[in-house]
Structure 1
């Protein structure tokens, strides 16, 4: 490892979160969503642990992610027994070929996708994705899609939709979407398995669990509703090393644009983590890091490769690793300070950051 930038991935916390979510799923099976490289945590670290915990349903974005995951699961001893849902469906012939070769389960929204699967010789199963109010992806003629699947010897795994406002438990859309989903499923085929709930939905609408729930961010330890915590534990702790300690005089500026000027002599740390690693530039002059019980303010602009911290009056020294979020600084709090969501933090972690299981 040449660059001292590490995202520690706590696998015991992952196990805890999966077990907790399974318990709260009121008998429904759990489809673990590990798209976008396991939400930035490292699919290769996350998938085998969930598999060992008994998870047999996984969700990814597309065929490329699905093919990679199938290889990981096979190496972990799963073979073909686990299902891998492609939540974005398929885009072209290559996707259809990958879905066929790796026994993937695409989420289908239109007839053209079934045509591509038929041309590829696909005889597996598909999800039918319907819209219940989010107005993103959704089949406009689901009964027709099911007929085309039957005519093409393609099995229908079930019907799914997605909640738009589940992290706002009192939002009227939640009940409207649940009612729409239930009504559409009855009209389409009341015997088909159903999947509606995401992480927040599992907590706020357990009575709508259906047959399969699809937790994503909650698996990684973020409480979907901070006002209603359920005991999830953070899986990722993002750290960088202090690579140099500097003493600067009063009146000296720090980093690009001279946006910070020392009002008195200061001791600063240069840390090996910047926006190319996934540390948001928006933390310039307002973020903080954690070291041995103390918070260390970010001073100056976050650079591509480095971030400077005020370590005046502390025992911080070269070689120390500081935490930017994880066990001691909540990723949710960092995201809130930036007016964004934790998803953007995790999925923004760059490839040059080492993911290290602990």
Structure 2
């Protein structure tokens, strides 16, 4: 029997989020971002559900992820699989040919690699509008190189740095810069600028295609402007043992927690190797029996201890670390991080189960 460490994936909530984002983006095409194993939610569960909803455009990181997604979705219909990091070498270029992948191009060398491989599909050109991460330095030259290589450029894209802060001055600066560059490069090409937060905070810049990621999975990307997204992931462990301890004894590694009175603790079979942040030690909470209970002592590789004093908790009970009752955004905020790190940090030995 496998360890009772389970991540429940609520596909109805995923569908709800997709429909909500589609309405919010109005007439724009939706390119759903499913990189990093669908942000830890399990690609083979998430992608088919989105396809059933009518999504035919997906974005992953690289050719390896693209090949995996193609094996899940198949070649039927017109399914676009965009590689947001483009290609890295000759092997990637070959994979792009074989699996009908759509690389995002930011360097001339990538065009040369595709040409050598005989690529005759589509590409996006990524330009830098101010984030100073990936982006073509000479996008017009790349566009011309694609034309000469008979590679179709299906659009121009860029990425926002501060869209989760609606009033940040970078947002409009980037939008203006992006528009100006697109007009100079090729006014008629489709454009894509907005991520999850941008869809909400900058609706006037939806253009042809938007690229929601974190919002699909139910984490509100703009704290001040919630739109009714529902959590897709619920991370749960199971109580293995319940024990009474007297006042004055310590719990877990380092003896960082000492009981100031007699109490009852429960050992949950989920630890930092499963994705429970160690920084929740003596700090975080879990949800069980309709209440939040405190984590006590250091989170271990395989176990987490919680205070279950005066509850009817027993071995076999399921414990929620985040999900519908404890929002991942709230957990992340308490740790000065983001929900992305929680979702993608869930370990491989935690089973993903569609519900």
TM over 0.5: yes
Per the TM alignment, residue 80 of structure 1 is displaced from its structure 2 partner at its CA by 5.3
Confirm or deny that 1:236 pairs with 2:233.
yes
Matched with 2:54 is 54
Q: Is this contact kept in 2: 1:80–1:103, CA < 8 A?
A: no
Per the TM alignment, residue 227 of structure 1 is displaced from its structure 2 partner at its CA by 1.6
Q: Is this contact kept in 2: 1:26–1:206, CA < 8 A?
A: no
Matched with 1:175 is 172
Q: Is this contact kept in 2: 1:289–1:296, CA < 8 A?
A: yes
Matched with 1:280 is 277
Matched with 2:297 is 300
**Matches of 1:138 and 1:156, distance apart in 2:** 15
Q: Which stretches in structure 1 are left out of the alignment for 5+ residues?
A: none
Q: Is this contact kept in 2: 1:107–1:127, CA < 8 A?
A: yes
TM-score between the two structures when normalised by the length of structure 2 = 0.99
**Matches of 1:340 and 1:80, distance apart in 2:** 39
Per the TM alignment, residue 249 of structure 1 is displaced from its structure 2 partner at its CA by 1.4
**Matches of 1:46 and 1:306, distance apart in 2:** 28
1:62-81 alignment runs, 5 A limit: 62-74=62-74, 79=76, 81=78
Among candidates 185, 188, 198, match of residue 185 of structure 2:
188
Deviations 1:245-299 (CA, angstroms, capped at 9, x unpaired): 1111111110000000111111111001100001000000011110121111000
**Matches of 1:118 and 1:356, distance apart in 2:** 42
**Matches of 2:250 and 2:204, distance apart in 1:** 57
Deviations 1:156-197 (CA, angstroms, capped at 9, x unpaired): 010000000000000011000000111100000011010000
Q: Which stretches in structure 2 are left out of the alignment for 5+ residues?
A: none
**Matches of 1:252 and 1:118, distance apart in 2:** 68
Local SS of the residue matching 1:121? coil
Matched with 1:14 is 14
**Matches of 2:233 and 2:280, distance apart in 1:** 18
Matched with 1:41 is 41
Local SS of the residue matching 1:289? strand
**Matches of 1:79 and 1:274, distance apart in 2:** 41
Per the TM alignment, residue 129 of structure 1 is displaced from its structure 2 partner at its CA by 0.2
Among candidates 338, 347, 354, match of residue 335 of structure 2:
338
Matched with 2:317 is 320
Structural RMSD (CA):
0.8
**Matches of 1:293 and 1:137, distance apart in 2:** 45
1:203-282 alignment runs, 5 A limit: 203-282=200-279
Q: Is this contact kept in 2: 1:67–1:98, CA < 8 A?
A: yes
**Matches of 1:258 and 1:93, distance apart in 2:** 53
Confirm or deny that 1:132 pairs with 2:129.
yes
**Matches of 1:253 and 1:98, distance apart in 2:** 55
Local SS of the residue matching 1:230? coil
**Matches of 1:234 and 1:91, distance apart in 2:** 34
**Matches of 2:200 and 2:267, distance apart in 1:** 41
**Matches of 1:296 and 1:26, distance apart in 2:** 42
**Matches of 1:300 and 1:80, distance apart in 2:** 53
Confirm or deny that 1:142 pairs with 2:139.
yes
**Matches of 1:247 and 1:19, distance apart in 2:** 48
